[in-house]
Amino acid sequence: MIRSTPIISIIILLNTSIMAQSTDSIKKDEYWKSKLSDIEYAVAREKGTERPFTGKYWDFFERGIYSCVCCGANLFESDSKFASSCGWPSFFDSKYKDNIEFHNDTSHGMIRTEVLCKKCGAHLGHIFDDGPKPTGKRFCINSVSIKFTPIK
Ligand code: FE
């Protein structure tokens, strides 16, 4: 009889947890693929970027709330949207900071700060320090990652 040593037990435990994780992420991927359009999935779940001046909201200034295209969490209000001429919807602030998180992003040879939905991990865009007053910030957000609801 082979007695399993603590090291073998640890390896088995680690392996099982890695397998469980990958099954979970495959399930999640399938869920998001069925819920989102191809471009929404590519941007929000795979950290893609829509081409500038092509999205629904870069030149759109109706009064309302922008929520996460994946989970519906409120993210931005039209009060803090501004015309940045960068080709993506831009906000200088968010009233819903509890629903937003930031990650360091060193992809594509750049050092940037990624903006994500805190509730579901959707990639929203990046934040830069060249925004207008009062914050000086520019949340540069993909139109396909957000969904607009007018305020009546
Ligand atoms: Fe979300």
Inter-residue contact 149 to 138 (CB < 8 Å): no
What fold characterizes domain 64-150?
2.170.150
Q: What is the Å distance from ligand 1's center to 76 Cα?
A: 12
Residue 70 annotated as catalytic: no
User: What are the CA-CA distances from residue 17 to residues 6, 11, 21 (Å)?
Assistant: 16, 10, 6
Q: What is the Å distance from ligand 1's center to 12 Cα?
A: 34
Domain ranges in the chain are 64-150
The per-residue pLDDT for 18 is: 53
The per-residue pLDDT for 21 is: 59
The per-residue pLDDT for 24 is: 80
Q: What is the Å distance from ligand 1's center to 117 Cα?
A: 5
The per-residue DSSP string of the chain comes to -PPPPHHHHHHHHHHHHHHHHHHHHHHHHHHHHHHS-HHHIIIIIT---PPTT-SSSTT---SEEEEETTT--EEEEGGGEE--SSSS-EES--S-GGGEEEEEE-GGG--EEEEEETTT--EEEEEES-PPTTT--EEEE-GGGEEEEE--
**Which residue among 68, 70, 117, 140 is the active-site one?**
140
From first to last of the 152 residues of the chain, give the pLDDT tens digit: 445 566 656 555 555 555 555 778 888 899 999 999 999 999 999 999 999 999 999 999 999 999 999 999 999 999 999 999 999 999 999 999 999 999 999 999 999 999 999 999 999 999 999 999 999 999 999 999 999 999 98
Q: What is the Å distance from ligand 1's center to 103 Cα?
A: 15
